[in-house]
């Protein structure tokens, strides 16, 4: 492309002006030389031309000034300017010798603490840099009151099941130099930071226990911890203690650990030997009651009221029952207030003080599991204790309701995490999980129908899935509760309600099945009653959103203190206790758990088939020959395999099973190269 002559002329003029300006600037700069500022500057003389160089000749008339000055000029496309190279900045060395020593300590390769990560070290450095590398814990060569408070908390780490040896406080000489002060101050900050992170659950690599343990740990960073402790002043130790859980379940285990380690408690009462007799409950009369009243220091007879005179001395009233219940809880018995054989034997042996049951390792392992839960469970939440097979719903911080649940089998475990329930679905559909569907591939490969054994064949972009429509035999029952999560598990109903009568209820593929789910819906859906929800059965799929997201915590406690103050242990369903002890450096590799589940009351019978009220029972069809092998009822292929009819599949017990519905949270199965399947 030819450049217009006018443009070339303009460019030559611009360059000539630029060169002239540069020459004038050089002359002006020479005139302003400091050596000649006092004398007037003389005009610059023209530079002499060497004899060997020919004198410049005048341009011929009509010559092109541009082509003469720039004979090889060719227009070029504009080029992007290179990014300026980063300028290396050298940290400013503080003038204060003590601050300079702190900065120098960061430059050394020696670790501040063995368990301190590089990211944590960088965070500590950023904190000190913001305060001009001034020491935090040492003033005038001695520990501050804040440091003494934190040091006391680090030394008492064992109270919370932590190892005080992991947070060693550095020694400080009587008159330390700047280097010793810098080293001690930084190592003290590192110890406080590691304690705070351990208190929030950072001690164990949970992936090494199981890939299905995925809580969102709230691990604090260095700047947040050190800023909080610095602001607390002399109460920095209390601020550091605040990183430990404050939930009632954790505090109960902590108190039990202190009782186990402390001296044996003194006997609360003297022994009492009672004659044999039946178990006593409120309202019964027995000649042993006066002995109990005298033993517990109660009135000789029930007090009278405005409506009735004082009762009989032999009446086993609520006052005596409450005294017996208090004694039972103190001896580790169920505090039901019933004078049974166990209580009579404990009264006879009351002179020997009772120590807390359970081992230290057992308590510490379960205290650690409380750190996996959020620091604030919420005033309204659902807690599922997997080894207990039980769900509890809390409203306003108080227990609203509880129910039995069925959890995942050891080869398809229920994951442990916290989520937020967002909605419920009444009359849900169920899609056969890919893990089960692939076992049926040979039967479906040549099938071209739209239904198959009560399932709908759904084809999506070359993939095939089986959908079970809502109904009485639907694998999810009549309602499911959804809280989006990476495992695609949820709470839901089941048509196999007889399984809830089993003591060991690990039958599912990972989801949690709830006994009497409409009662749970009544507790979590404030605008929907149980009766109103049941009227929706058989009327098509219906999604009901919660007015506010409800926290759901799937937890794993093999030792806990119940609401009555009784310490209980449970079998280790998934075998997590032994690797937890090893990870925490606790003795005992574990073995088969021998603890038994606590006795449960008889389950309330479910309402008689609510479907029968919503629609007539399906008509039985005459037997007909099957052209293709059809699946049996949903109990075989759903998330609710009954005992003896489990689907066999080769999978690691620790691998995450496939759950959920296509298009919901579970990704669509990858295409297979062979055929349309």
Catalytic site residues? 492, 511
Per DSSP bridges, beta strands 381-385 and 390-395 are antiparallel
Contact between 519 and 530 under an 8 Å Cβ cutoff? The reply is yes
Q: What is the rounded radius of gyration, in angstroms, for the C-alpha atoms of the chain?
A: 40
Half-sphere exposure of 657 (CA within 13 A, CB side): 27
For 54, the 3-state DSSP assignment is coil
Give bridge partners of residue 506 from the DSSP assignment. 407
- Phi then psi for residue 147, to 5 deg, are -65, -40
8 A C-beta contact, residue 214 and residue 378: no
Cβ atoms of 420 and 552 closer than 8 Å: yes
Say if residues 409 and 508 touch (Cβ distance below 8 Å): yes
Burial of 531 (0-12, 13-18, 19+ CB in 10 A): exposed
Q: Whole-angstrom Cα distance, residue 229 to residue 137?
A: 10
Which residue's entry shows tokens 């650990």?
Answer: 257
Cα 487 to Cα 511: distance, rounded to the nearest angstrom:
9
DSSP annotation string for 177-212: -HHHHHHHHHHHHHHHHHHHHHHTT-SS-HHHH-TT
Nearest to 524 by CA among 497, 498, 493, 545: 545
> Rounded distance, CA 390 to CA 560, Å?
13
- How far apart CA 138 and CA 185 sit, in angstroms, is 6
Is the Cβ–Cβ distance between 138 and 172 less than 8 Å?
yes
Residues 6+ apart with CB under 8 A from 427: 470, 478, 479, 536, 537, 538, 539, 540, 541, 542
| Residues facing residue 416 across a β-bridge | 213
Q: In Å, how far from its chain's centre is CA 273?
A: 51
594 CB neighbour count, 10 Å cutoff:
7
Query: 517 exposed, middle or buried (CB, 10 Å; 0-12, 13-18, 19+)?
Result: buried
For residue 365, give both structure tokens: 């392992």
Closest by CA to 477, choosing from 521, 524, 435, 430, is 430
Helices (H), 539-622: 577-584, 610-614
Long-range contacts of 154-157 (CB under 8 A, 24+ apart): 154/191, 154/192, 154/195, 154/240, 157/195
Fill in the DSSP letter of residue 105: H
Helix or strand (DSSP H, E) at 481: strand 479-482
How far apart, in Å, are the Cα atoms of 132 and each of 71, 126, 178, 187, 495? 61, 10, 15, 18, 67
Number of residues assigned to the chain: 677
């Amino acid at each position: 492309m030819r450049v217009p002559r006018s443009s070339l002329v303009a460019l030559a003029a611009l360059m000539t002006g630029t060169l002239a300006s540069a020459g004038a600037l050089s002359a002006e700069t020479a005139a302003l030389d400091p050596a000649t500022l006092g004398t007037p500057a003389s005009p610059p003389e023209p530079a002499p031309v060497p004899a060997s160089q020919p004198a410049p000749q005048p341009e011929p008339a009509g010559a092109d000034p541009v082509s003469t000055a720039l004979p090889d000029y060719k227009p070029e496309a504009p080029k992007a300017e290179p990014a300026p190279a980063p300028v290396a900045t050298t940290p400013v060395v503080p003038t204060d010798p003590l601050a300079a020593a702190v900065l120098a300590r960061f430059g050394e390769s020696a670790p501040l603490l063995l368990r301190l990560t590089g990211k944590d070290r960088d965070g500590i450095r950023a904190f000190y840099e913001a305060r001009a590398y001034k020491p935090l814990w040492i003033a005038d060569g001695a520990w501050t009151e804040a440091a003494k408070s934190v040091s006391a908390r680090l030394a008492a780490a064992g109270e919370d099941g932590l190892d005080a040896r992991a947070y060693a406080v550095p020694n400080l000489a009587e008159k330390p130099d700047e280097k010793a002060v810098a080293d001690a101050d930084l190592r003290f900050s590192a110890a406080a930071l590691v304690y705070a992170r351990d208190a929030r659950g950072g001690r164990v690599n949970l992936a090494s226990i199981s890939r299905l343990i995925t809580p969102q740990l709230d691990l604090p960073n260095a700047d947040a911890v050190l800023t909080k402790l610095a602001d607390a002043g002399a109460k920095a130790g209390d601020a550091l203690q605040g990183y430990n859980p404050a939930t009632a379940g954790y505090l109960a285990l902590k108190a039990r650990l202190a009782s186990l380690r402390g001296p044996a408690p003194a006997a609360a009462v003297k022994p009492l030997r009672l004659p044999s007799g039946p178990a006593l409950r409120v309202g019964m009369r027995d000649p042993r009651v006066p002995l109990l009243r005298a033993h517990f220091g109660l009135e000789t007879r029930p007090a009278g009221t405005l409506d009735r005179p004082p009762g009989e001395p032999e009446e086993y009233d609520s006052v005596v029952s409450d005294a017996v219940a208090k004694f039972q809880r103190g001896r580790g018995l169920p505090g039901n207030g019933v004078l049974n054989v166990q209580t009579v034997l404990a009264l006879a042996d009351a002179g020997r003080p009772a120590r807390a049951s359970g081992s230290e390792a057992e308590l510490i392992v379960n205290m650690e599991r409380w750190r996996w839960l959020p620091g604030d469970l919420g005033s309204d939440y659902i807690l599922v204790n997997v080894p207990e097979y039980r769900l509890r719903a809390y409203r306003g911080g108080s227990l609203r309701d509880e129910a039995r649940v069925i959890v995942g089998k050891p080869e398809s475990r229920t994951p442990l995490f916290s989520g937020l329930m967002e909605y419920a679905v009444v009359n849900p559909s169920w899609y056969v999980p890919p893990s089960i569907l692939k076992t049926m591939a040979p039967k479906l490969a040549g099938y071209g129908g739209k239904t198959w054994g009560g399932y709908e064949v759904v084809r999506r972009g070359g993939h095939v899935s089986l959908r079970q429509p809502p109904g009485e035999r639907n694998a999810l029952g009549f309602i499911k509760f959804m809280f989006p999560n990476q495992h695609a598990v949820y709470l839901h109903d089941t048509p196999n309600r007889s399984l809830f009568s089993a003591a060991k209820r690990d039958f599912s593929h990972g989801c949690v099945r709830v006994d009497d789910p409409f009662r749970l819906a009544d507790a979590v859906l404030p605008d929907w009653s149980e009766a109103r929800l049941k009227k929706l059965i058989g009327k098509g799929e219906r999604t009901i959103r919660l007015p506010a997201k409800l926290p759901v915590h799937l937890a794993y406690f093999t030792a806990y203190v119940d609401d009555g103050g009784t310490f209980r242990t449970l079998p280790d369903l998934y075998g997590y206790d032994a690797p937890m002890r090893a990870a925490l450096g606790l003795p005992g590799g574990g073995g088969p758990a021998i603890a038994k589940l606590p006795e449960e009351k008889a389950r309330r019978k479910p309402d008689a088939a609510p479907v029968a009220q919503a629609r007539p029972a399906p008509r039985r069809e005459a037997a007909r020959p099957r052209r293709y092998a059809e699946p049996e009822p949903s109990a075989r292929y759903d998330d609710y395999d009954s005992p003896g009819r489990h689907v066999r599949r080769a999978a690691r017990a620790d691998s995450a099973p496939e759950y959920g519905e296509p298009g919901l949270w579970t990704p669509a199965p990858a295409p297979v190269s062979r055929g349309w399947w």
